[in-house]
Amino acid sequence: MKNETVITKDLANKKLHITRYFAAPVAKVWKAWTDSSVLDKWWAPKPWKAETKIMDFKEGGFWLYCMAGPNGERSWCRVDFTKIDAGKSFAATACFCDEDGNINSDFPKMYWNNVFEATETGTKLEVDLSFDSEDDLEKIVAMGFEGGFTMGLNNLAELLAAE
């Protein structure tokens, strides 16, 4: 179904491929991914919340945020933007870090490539996540990435429908 998140694992190429359709125009979906005031509303799986500390959406810029849990937990992430084609696609490297953005090398890096495409009914989002090794991919999957990211994308679909 179009309103479902489809995640395909390609272990040989160390990739996850995610497809999701949204009943909203590309401009709205793009803004939801690139404007921290919107991103913070949907990015984290409930009951967690995303809290942006720094958002500088430009090539060479970065997003520093934490996932704040219901019991005071805080997990920090840094996303470095490497390539942006405004309104169409962006690429970034995501890492776990501390609250100052210092990368924690105990966790794998994730290389994101997000493509936004207009459809007759809204937007098709395709995300390719690449990893340095199969072990890195498996580690992220074992940490609950698929379920967490699916919940986040469901939050985004709800947010877009409510606007």
pLDDT the model gives residue 81? 98
Domain 6-162: CATH architecture, name and number where available: 2-Layer Sandwich (3.30)
Pick out the chain residues at pLDDT < 50. 1
Structure tokens at 70: 């219901």
Using CA atoms of 107, 108, 111, 116 in order, give the dihedral in degrees to the nearest 10: -60
Amino acid in position 19: T
Would you kindly state where each structural domain of the chain is located, as residue ranges? 6-162
pLDDT for the residue numbered 3: 72
pLDDT at residue 99, as a whole number: 96
